Amino acid sequence: MALDKIGIAKRIAQELQNGWYVNLGIGIPTLVANYIPSGIEVEFQSENGVLGMGPFPFDGEEDADLINAGKQTITTLPGAAFFDSATSFAMIRGQHVQLTVLGAMEVSQNGDIANWKIPGKMVKGMGGAMDLVASADNIIVAMMHSNKAGESKLLINCSLPLTGVACVKKVVTELAVLSIIDGAFHLIERAPGVSVEEIIAKTEGRLIVPEFVPEMQL
């Protein structure tokens, strides 16, 4: 059965390693923070200038001066630090953040990503996404395998304006975990009960399927 958003977040959370600094994008990526495996300590960086983000505040304890990059009210954990936006992107560009998780509209088989602009529609801007994808060594995309029209989002080439080139290393969808290596998607795991055939059918880009494809363990 295909995963729901929480399933995707849980699977991505398994990628976390002890001591990592992690930047989570808006949407599914944000949920990853709720499923950190036990024994793993990570710290969350928010590109507006917060390190050591904690959970949302209790009702009534919101502070307008304490938000994350999604403009949501947050709290901090012991050991947190605040800094300006240039320092924040110094962390990102300088590869001090070990993992970036973000959403996408399209990913191509060579790791290009499109997630900021649909021609003809209102453009909201790229925010920090272009800096994040151009800089991070380790980028995981969390997204649905297909768009609302049922078309694959794992493509030979992105059709939308790019956010970054050859940068995505891994994609986690409701159907599968895929690595991007040498211009192809490599099927690593499938969602529980999802067939390899379904993943092949829904992946437009070049897909390498090993003989045995394990099911995700969630």
Partner 1 sequence: MYKVVKNAEEALRDIQDDMTIMLGGFGLCGIPENSIGELVRKGTKRLTCISNNAGVDGFGLGLLLETKQIKKMISSYVGENDEFERQMLSGELEVDLIPQGSLAERCRAGGAGIPAFYTPAGFGTEIAEGKEVRIYNGKPHILEEALTADFAIVKAWKGDTAGNLVYKAAARNFNPLMAMAGKITIAEVEELLPAGSLDPNEIHTPGIFVQRIFQGKKFEKRIEQRTVRKRD
Q: 120-159: which residues touch partner 1 (CB under 8 A)? A: 122-131, 134-135
Q: Which of 27, 36, 161, 169 binds partner 1 (CB under 8 A)?
A: 161
Residue from 15, 41, 43, 47 carrying the catalytic annotation: 47
Closest CA to 115 of 157, 68, 50, 163: 163
Instruction: Answer yes or no: 47 catalytic.
Output: yes
**What residues form DSSP beta bridges with 46?**
50
Span interacting with partner 1, options 100-108, 118-126, 148-156, 176-184, rule CB under 8 A:
118-126
Which two three-digit tokens encode residue 188?
């690593």
Which two three-digit tokens encode residue 36?
């950190």
Q: Which of 27, 36, 83, 186 binds partner 1 (CB under 8 A)?
A: 83
Q: For residue 214, what is the DSSP state? A: P
Per CB under 8 A, 180 contacts partner 1:
no
Span interacting with partner 1, options 90-98, 139-147, 174-182, 206-214, rule CB under 8 A:
90-98
- State the Cα–Cα distance between residues 133 and 61, nearest whole angstrom: 34
Per CB under 8 A, 65 contacts partner 1:
yes
Q: Note the residue count of the chain.
A: 218
CB atoms within 10 A of CB 71: 9
Which two three-digit tokens encode residue 32?
């990853």
CB atoms within 10 A of CB 175: 26
- Nearer to partner 1 (CB atom), residue 18 or residue 217: 18
Per CB under 8 A, 40 contacts partner 1:
no
Q: Which of 71, 149, 193, 197 binds partner 1 (CB under 8 A)?
A: 71
